Structure 1
Amino acid sequence: MKKKMTAALTVFAVLGGMGTGVYAGSNLQEIKAFLNPGIKFKMDGQPVQLKNSSGAVVAPITYNNTTYLPVRAVSDVLGVTVNFDAAANTILLGEQTKGVSIAAGFDSSYHTKDPDKTVYKDKDYKDVHFDNGSGTRGSSFMLYPNKKYQKLYLQVAAIGDDIEDFSIIDSDTDTVLKKQNITAQEGLVTIEANIAGVSKLYVTGEVKDGSSVFIPLTTSYYQ
């Protein structure tokens, strides 16, 4: 339903908060248009306000009997990620065609590139989160997609015993985006979560004494 709605919308602004330099060299045409703050919006029957990236309310523009909507504000309401490729002068909606590894900027106390810890089932993943701590514990770390991506594909393996209540949580709203148990017998599993519009993720799971959490950063990615 959301994809159909997105396709039906005529969009005007590219990204809220962009500087005018983004448009340098583009084929702009000057027009006379009107802000139309009288138009109201509903999403699935519920009233919503269109806002820019700074949280300010924005109004649609009417030009030649057509209403143009700011794509950033509309995509936030629909839960569709929007980015701008300046080099190609192209708006990117939804999943990106190429995945972006979560390794860049990753930080946790169990982040390691030690070859003695990055190998799982005879494959060296080079860069991993490997929690081999002691005692029954919560194993967790943060990710910062900064609203740039639609999906997260996170690879996880439970070593020794199962990981219970493995959860991917929107840290700003405390909303659980994905939750499942991971058994040691499954091997390396891929967990998919919709992260459109999410700035910060809290990833956590319950680990038993003598067990470890193995997450290869090079094969876990945003899209």
Structure 2
Amino acid sequence: MRSFRKKSVLTVAFCAAMLTSSLGSAYAAVNLEPINAFFNRGVSFVLNGERWKPTDANGKALNVVYYEGANYLPARALAEALKIPIEYDAAAQTIYIGSKPGAKTPIFAAPMEIDNIYAILSRASADTLVNGVSYQEVLKIDQYGDVYFTIDRKYKRLVLDAAVVSPGEHEVDVSLYNASDLAGNAADTVLEKHTVSPEDDSTRMSFNVEGLEKIRIHVQSPNLNPYIYARILDTSYFDNGETASP
């Protein structure tokens, strides 16, 4: 047991079945190699200061595998405990831990809560025609508004497109806050702020949301003007931080 304690616990995927893979005999013949390993039932874990036991999707306890002096953990159980997204692409035989390269999630496809009577999600043609360009859906904010997105640390960036429409004549501030239940007093601290001008057809903004579980986007005139006529456009998206197209 002393040797177990001296070895680092490696976070690797050791069991393809845990990621619901389906392997044919040809693949197995080329890529799978039998090993002589052991279940190590003597290892216990403390995750972020609390006792933790790895389990599968049905809550069944999973054991650590001990092989050649190292302990191996099931990748999915650990990633989910750390709130890191994990996905298995069976066709490509690739496990993605964290964001998939190039993947984008449209802003209105993310879990969303609107907390203001002046902020309305709309598909009406009168609202989705924004400065001469038609969109399928917009968030209409005529005075001020807050919208919350639950992102569970899945993304690094929010690329947000917004505009001010007629008769709006004031600049609009778009501010990012940490809305996690654990944010405490930090929930009132602006993490980033960008400005949308009524002189532009639309403005693209980039917010760093890496490591955040839940965010709040607050939209309001910097001078507290009552009517702003702002629109958040459905071309906005969350992604893993690649450079936004102009």
Q: Which amino acid aligns with 1:151?
A: K
Alpha-carbon distance in 1 for matches of 2:17, 2:228:
45
Percent identity reads 16
2:135 corresponding residue in structure 1: 126
Q: Summarize the Cα distance change of 1:118–1:84 in structure 2 as closer, same or farther, 3 Å threshold.
A: farther
Runs (5+) with no aligned partner, structure 2: 1-9, 115-119, 165-169, 241-246
- String of CA shifts for 1:15-42, please: whole Å, max 9, x gaps: 85x44xx233252455554322322345
Q: Which runs of 5+ in 1 are unaligned?
A: 1-7
User: What letter corresponds to residue 184 of structure 1 in structure 2?
Assistant: V
Cα RMSD after superposing both structures = 4.0
Q: Secondary structure in 2 aligned to 1:110?
A: strand
Q: Deviations 1:139-160 (Å, cap 9, x if unpaired)?
A: 32545x5x69343423153643
Distance 1:105 1:79, change over 3 A: closer
Matched residue SS, 1:74? helix
Distance in 1 separating the partners of 2:129 and 2:105: 16
Q: Which amino acid aligns with 1:181?
A: K
Which 10-residue stretch deviates more, 90-99 or 32-41?
A: 32-41
Out of 124, 135, 138, the residue aligned to residue 145 of structure 2 is 138
CA contact (8 A) 2:174 2:194 kept: yes
Q: What is the distance in 1 between the residues matched to 2:90 and 2:190?
A: 33
Structure number having the greater helix percentage: 2
- 5 Å-filtered alignment, 1:104-123, equals 105=109, 109-112=120-123, 114=125, 117-119=128-130
For 1:148 and 1:164, the matched residues in 2 are separated by 21
Amino acid at match of 1:24: L
Are the equivalent residues in 1 in contact too, given 2:163–2:230 (CA < 8 A)? yes
Helix, strand or coil for the counterpart of 2:209?
strand
Residues 166 and 179, structure 1, Cα contact 8 Å, conserved in 2: yes
Would you say the 8 A contact 1:14–1:91 is kept in 2?
Answer: no
* Bigger Rg, which one: 2
| CA–CA distance in structure 2, aligned partners of residues 118 and 56 of structure 1 | 52
What TM-score, normalized by structure 1, do the two folds share? Answer: 0.64
> How many aligned residue pairs are there?
201
- TM-score normalised according to structure 2 size: 0.59
- 1:155 pairs with 2:160: yes
1:22-171 superposed matches below 5 A: 22-25=21-24, 26-27=27-28, 28-29=32-33, 33-41=37-45, 46=49, 49-52=52-55, 54=57, 58-76=62-80, 80-102=84-106, 105=109, 109-112=120-123, 114=125, 117-119=128-130, 124=133, 126-134=135-143, 137-142=144-149, 149-157=154-162, 159=164, 160-163=170-173, 165-167=175-177, 169-170=179-180
Distance 2:107 2:174 in 1: 24
